[in-house]
Each structure stands twice: as C-alpha cells, then as structure tokens.
C-alpha cells in the first residue's frame, strides 16, 4: 500500500488552562496548562487531535510523493501511521477510499491552502440562538465592550484637508437614498412575478455571452467579476412568489429560468429560511431569499492556488448583493444581505460540496410591513 499526507494540513497548538490543585495546595501557582495539537484538514471538514508521535510522522511525510506504508512504519512506527490513516490525515492509494476521494476533490479544485482552511473552518452548522449565536443591541455592546472606535478617522490636520463641492442631486440618488436594510418584512405579501423576474435577471442574469477562446465563454453581467468569470450562482428560496411554487430553485443566468430543486410548503420554506440565516428571524418573512454560492473551479481555473482568488469570490458576492439591493429599492422594497448563515445546512439542502461550491451569503427582499419591531436605518431618519 502506498500512502502520503493529505493535500492541505495546518497544525494548531491549543493551550487548555485548568486549576493545578497540587500546586495550589503547596502555595504555588493555581493554574496549569495542557498542550494539545489540533490538525485542521479541509478535506475532512473537522478538527482532529494528534499526539507527538503522529505529529512527527506528519512532518516527515510529504503530500505529493507516495511512499510504501512499510517504509513509513519503519521510520515512524506502525501505530502512528495506522492512527493517521484512520483519522484521514494520511491517505492511501486504494481505489474507493472515501478519504482519498475527498482529498482528490480538494487537490482538483486548485485551492490556495490557507483559503481552503479559512473557508471550511469558518462555516456554520446548525448555529442558532440556543446553540451559541447572539445578536446583542448597541446598548448591550457598549455596556460589555465599551464605546466603539470612532466611525471616522483623520489622517491629516483639518486645515490641510481639501474640502470638495457638494454633489448635485441626480436620478440615481433617488434610488440610493431610499436604499436600506429591511428587518420588518410583510409576512403575508406576495412578490409579483414580474418584479422577481427583473430582480433575478438584472442582478444575476447574463446580458450577453462572448467566446474569448475556443470553448471558453464568459458572461456579461451588470456587476463586475474577477477575470470576467462570474462564478457565483444564485439559488432561490421562493416562499411567496407569484406563480412559483414554494421551494428551492437554481437560477439559470443565460436561460433566465428557475430550475426546480426541492418542492416545499410555506412551513418548510420558513423553517429552512430560519436555519439558513442562523435564527435572524427578522429576515425570515421576506418572500424571496437568494443563496449566493461560488463554483470555485470556475474562478480557480484561472487563479490556480492564487493568494487573492478566494477574496475575489467574496467580492463577487458583494457586488451581486448590492446590485440586488438597488433593484429591490427601485421596485419600492427593502432588501438584506447577511453572511451570518449556516453554510452546512444550505449545502445539505442544495446538494452542494463545500470544496466545490462555496456558500458565501444570503440575500432577500420583499414589501415592508410598515411596523418597526426591529431598527431600520433609513435616510429620512
């Protein structure tokens, strides 16, 4: 059997503090520290603890060249090698091995190692109010953390600054100044199909296509994208959209069509919406939510193992969400976007592999209820 180390691996030394009772009773320091070594391997999607012998084996085996298992066992001992294979930090060459398959997927996507680790280990799974997420008010934050840093900074004396003329009011301002994040959606409102169609086509749809080289097509959208690649896909959670049955859909940007994925009733869509936005119940009543998920192989095809490629994916999602905001505002509705989401729950619902499809954010829109149960910062305020 041939083995090698997994493609991406980071070791995090953890210090656990506890009361050192013998030292305390002898009059010495009361705290003791225990060191643990935690392995972060994106293809596993979970942390794995390793001991000193396993750590030495991981440091001595490469991630590219295969070696005979017997050779590795002679160097590092049979027990550490067997344990690391069982934990998935070493992979074998046997066909059909699940860990090997996951490691191969990671290798084939051309992730930058740090980006892969940051992406996989920043995802949430079933995070909710009762499991740890909290949304404190500004008053609570000031009470616990003190006053925040000032909203602006000055990098030179005031008299040295060049004061610019006040801009003239133009047509775009009418939309910009009406834009705000909605937190009080009308739970009974139905989004007109024509409005949903315009939102999806202008925010996420292709305006035209071009073949840049044989077999290499790019889309032109109204938002920018790194390399013109537009890797971010839009998945629609329709709750109350005119003429569209409740459920999950994939929006096809060229065909301008909703591709049905999972049929649901409104109780199920509301439950999924609540899980998706990690218990931010003020977003759940929006009649249409859109999940932004990037096909990393589309972006990394050009930017292979690139230090900025993952950052570009996040920027792409930001551009799309803000275009979505403006279109919703134009239609007379508030919108929202949030990164406080349960990516793992959405991956399961949509059938996505986090090494191939990076769920980044959820946005949504709908008519306002007129109530002010949650604070909304509007221009007129």
Average pLDDT over residues 357-376: 94
pTM, two decimals, is 0.92
Task: Quick: pLDDT tens for 288-302.
Answer: 999 999 999 999 999
Task: Convert 8-26 into a string of H (helix), E (strand) and C (coil).
Answer: CCEEEEEEEEEECHHHHHC
- The answer to whether 358 and 313 have CB atoms below 8 angstroms apart is yes
Only one residue has tokens 């930058």, namely: 112
Give helix then strand counts, H and E, for the chain: 14, 14
pLDDT at 381 over 60: no
Query: Strands 335-338 and 357-365: what pairing?
Result: antiparallel
Average pLDDT over residues 281-292: 97
Task: Quick: pLDDT tens for 197-223.
Answer: 999 999 999 999 999 999 999 999 999
pLDDT at 33 over 90: no
What's the rounded Cα separation, in Å, for the pair 93 and 355? 21
Homologous superfamily in CATH for domain 172-365:
NADH Oxidase (3.40.109.10)
Task: Quick: pLDDT tens for 1-15.
Answer: 999 999 999 999 998
pLDDT at 130 over 90: no
User: Quick one: pLDDT at residue 17?
Assistant: 76
First-to-last CA distance in the chain?
A: 69
Q: Where are the alpha helices (DSSP H) in the chain?
A: 21-25, 52-60, 69-76, 78-87, 98-108, 113-120, 138-145, 171-176, 193-204, 266-276, 281-284, 296-300, 309-330, 343-350
* Confidence band, pLDDT 50/70/90 cuts, at residue 228: very high
Q: Where are the domains of the chain?
A: 2-108, 172-365
């Amino acid at each position: 059997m041939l083995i090698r180390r997994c493609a991406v691996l980071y070791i995090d030394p953890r210090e656990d503090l506890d009361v050192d009772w013998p030292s305390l009773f002898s009059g010495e320091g009361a705290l003791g520290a225990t060191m643990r070594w935690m392995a972060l391997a994106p293809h596993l999607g979970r942390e794995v603890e390793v001991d000193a012998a396993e750590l030495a084996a991981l440091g001595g085996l490469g991630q590219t060249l295969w070696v005979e298992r017997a050779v590795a066992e002679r160097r590092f001992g049979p027990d550490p090698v067997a344990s690391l294979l069982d934990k998935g930090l070493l992979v074998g060459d046997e066909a059909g091995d699940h860990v090997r398959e996951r490691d191969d997927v990671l290798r084939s996507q051309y992730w930058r190692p740090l980006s892969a680790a940051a992406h996989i280990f920043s995802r949430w799974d079933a995070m909710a109010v009762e499991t740890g997420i909290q949304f404190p008010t500004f008053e609570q934050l000031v009470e616990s953390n003190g006053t925040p840093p000032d909203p602006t900074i000055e990098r030179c004396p005031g008299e040295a600054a060049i004061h610019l003329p006040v801009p003239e009011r133009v047509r775009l301002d009418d939309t910009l100044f009406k834009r705000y994040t909605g937190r009080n959606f009308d739970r009974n409102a139905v989004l007109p199909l024509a409005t949903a169609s315009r939102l999806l086509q202008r925010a996420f749809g292709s305006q035209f296509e071009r073949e840049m080289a044989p077999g290499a097509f790019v889309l032109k959208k109204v938002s920018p994208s790194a390399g013109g690649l537009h890797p971010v896909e839009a998945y629609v959670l329709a709750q109350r959209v005119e003429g569209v049955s409740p459920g999950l859909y994939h929006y096809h940007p060229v065909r301008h069509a909703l591709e049905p994925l999972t049929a649901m009733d409104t109780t199920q869509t509301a439950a999924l919406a609540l899980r998706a936005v990690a218990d931010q119940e003020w977003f759940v009543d929006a009649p249409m939510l859109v999940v932004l998920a990037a096909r990393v192989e589309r972006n990394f095809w050009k930017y292979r193992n690139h230090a900025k490629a993952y950052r570009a994916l996040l920027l792409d999602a930001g551009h799309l969400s803000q275009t979505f905001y403006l279109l919703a505002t134009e239609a007379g509705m508030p919108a929202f976007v949030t990164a406080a989401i349960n990516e793992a729950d959405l991956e399961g619902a949509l059938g996505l592999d986090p090494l191939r499809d990076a769920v980044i954010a959820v946005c949504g829109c709908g008519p306002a209820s007129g109530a002010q149960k949650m604070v909304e910062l509007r221009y007129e305020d």
